[in-house]
Chain A
């Protein structure tokens, strides 16, 4: 019984906090999980790569490609995450002596 109640409680929490947006409650929207932000990150990455005197690591290219593909297929959060990782690696690569 305890397990049943607990599962019900958790389900309620999940439904309340992460369920589909209700029509009557317009909420502020985050703009960093959009295809436009994917494009912005790709542009930033392109600028960084272009301004770097060293060739970018393979990992950056891989992450960039993966990010662009995911964004193009509608998996924006995954794509944004990979592009961010590529940016961070490229940033550290550029700062390395």
Chain B
């Protein structure tokens, strides 16, 4: 009984297909070789007999029986190759001409060719003959001695059959090899997938180093696993950060309400405590809104609302808005925008991103400091820079500064949720651009690069 599990194996199927295709190819090739060699000998013999019969028929038509007999005898006398066989008999079977002593009983039907063994000079030999009826009552047998041709045909057939057998054995061996290679190649991937399914996310598919398709597949799988790992790590960090960052304002609001409930002496004290608690809860709601907004941006659903727009007026509007905020803090905001700055995107989202950068810059700038908003366009991109003269971000922290809830050492003492740069990075990614943080010496320079309309369209 055939094992159904074996039949379901893709490796076995591929191996079987390989073996069958190879064997069929060999069969087709050997058939063609046989047809063009051994088959050719048969066809040549048949063509010779047919031509001979045609000539004798013409002679019969022109000269009757005497002419036919004479022609047969002449052809036999001039048959240097010594391979011709003729026999002309009357209705009683009496030989009228030819070199065959009597009519062979085996040849009993006009039309088809017969392989006829005959005796020749005491030796057995093989002839190929055909029987023609000559109305009203004569029978003519024409043939050729094909002994040598038969030997040659047998040799060719023998060699081709052996070749076919060897190819079949080779194909079967090759099929087993293919199946083992296939199984071994997939075993690596399968083992890794099994380990990951069991919870070990650190496992990766081994590369053979040959750079073949399997290596490419392994690389793609490994990249996918890395990506999943990063996403899961991000989810874990965000979960931790949410738990950590929200616990403080919630605890603070609870404490204030509890304290007010226990110690408030006047309705005004109670009212003030409630308002502070509401402010804390608003802060929590704000964090959730920011998180939802980042998630929405990362999902890419807002891309449908993208239009071609000029960023320059948007930047001017934001600068005007933040100029007042900066002035309150004693910070100077400078605007250096040379437009137009054409991009394909969502204006409100871009304004939000630049506002976040300006908000951070103003927040971290020292008194009497300067915050610069600068924008330029080149052939491929629009580059928006926001620089400040604050403490900056250490190089080691810059990579992580765009992660959700990340707050560097220098930012611990300032208010904020740690979501501003994460949102900017998400907006940049959604627009096909990037956010880069550089050292402004002193301070930080945030560079938001967006593809121009022309480069996006291309």
Contacts and interface: CB of A to CB of B under 8 A. Distances in A.
Interface of A: 2, 5-6, 9-10, 13-14, 17-22, 25, 27-34, 37, 40-41, 44, 76-77, 80-81, 84-85, 87-88, 91
A84 B77 contact: yes
A25 B121 CA distance: 16
Residue with the highest number of chain B CB atoms closer than 10 Å, among A6, A9, A17: A17
Q: Is the interface of A mostly helix, strand, loop or mixed?
A: helix
Contacts of A22: 124
Nearest to B120: A30
B151 interface: yes
Closest 7 pairs (CB-CB, A-B): A33-B121, A32-B99, A29-B119, A27-B119, A13-B154, A29-B101, A28-B104
B354 to A, nearest CB: 83
A87 B101 contact: no
Interface in B96-147: 99-104, 116-126, 147
Interface of B: 76-80, 82, 85, 99-104, 116-126, 147, 150-151, 154-155, 158-159, 162, 166
B124 A84 contact: no
B119 A17 contact: no
Given A28-B102, A30-B100, A88-B78, A20 B154 contact: no
Contacts of A19: 123-124
Contacts, number: 97
A6 B162 contact: yes
27 contacts: A2-B166, A6-B158, A10-B155, A13-B151, A17-B117, A17-B125, A17-B126, A17-B147, A21-B122, A21-B124, A22-B124, A27-B118, A28-B103, A29-B101, A29-B119, A29-B120, A31-B99, A31-B100, A32-B79, A33-B121, A44-B77, A77-B82, A77-B121, A81-B82, A84-B77, A84-B80, A84-B82
Contacts of A40: 77
Contact of A18 (B79, B101, B123): B123
A87 B80 CA distance: 9
Given A10-B158, A17-B150, A80-B82, A27 B124 contact: yes
A32 B356 CA distance: 115
Contacts of A6: 158-159, 162
A17 B100 contact: no
Given A21-B123, A22-B124, 5 more contacts: A17-B125, A21-B122, A27-B117, A85-B80, A88-B78
B156 to A, nearest CB: 11
A79 to B, nearest CB: 11
A88 to B, nearest CB: 5
Contacts of A91: 78
A30 B118 contact: yes
A32 B82 contact: yes
Given A84-B82, A85-B80, A14 B151 contact: yes
Contacts of B162: 2, 5-6
